[in-house]
Amino acid sequence: MPIGESVLAADGGTVQYAGEAGGYGYTVVIDHGGGTKTRYSHLSEILVSEGQGVNQGDAIALSGNSDGNSDISTGPHLDFGIYLNDPYDDYLPASGNAVNPIDYLDF
């Protein structure tokens, strides 16, 4: 994924976090209700703000290679995760609650 491509919301919800997230760089977390959240990281630009409602398919950010000051990332990419039953209100949903996104994609 080249830098500057639109990153779209996987589903509708409310932006829980939009900002710098350490080694994850610029990050957006969307709370979809029912304990389901999605995280989008290593963005070049964030297009939404915390508390904003989004619909499935809305552009929420632009792809990038941001990684804070860790210098771990070596090229543009999107770090995407789906999390279930996450109790936290920060940028890093509980990793133990991550699920395989392929189970939620409709091809």
Give the tens place of pLDDT for each residue, 33-53: 988 889 999 999 999 999 999
How far is the C-alpha of 85 from the C-alpha of 64, rounded, in Å? 28
Number of Cβ within a 10 Å radius of residue 69: 9
How far is the C-alpha of 53 from the C-alpha of 55, rounded, in Å? 7
How far is the C-alpha of 12 from the C-alpha of 37, rounded, in Å? 10
Question: Model's pTM, two decimal places?
Answer: 0.85
Q: Mind listing the domains of the chain with CATH numbers?
A: 6-86 (2.70.70.10)
How far is the C-alpha of 41 from the C-alpha of 65, rounded, in Å? 9
Q: For all residues of the chain together, what is the average pLDDT?
A: 85
Mean pLDDT of 97-102: 72
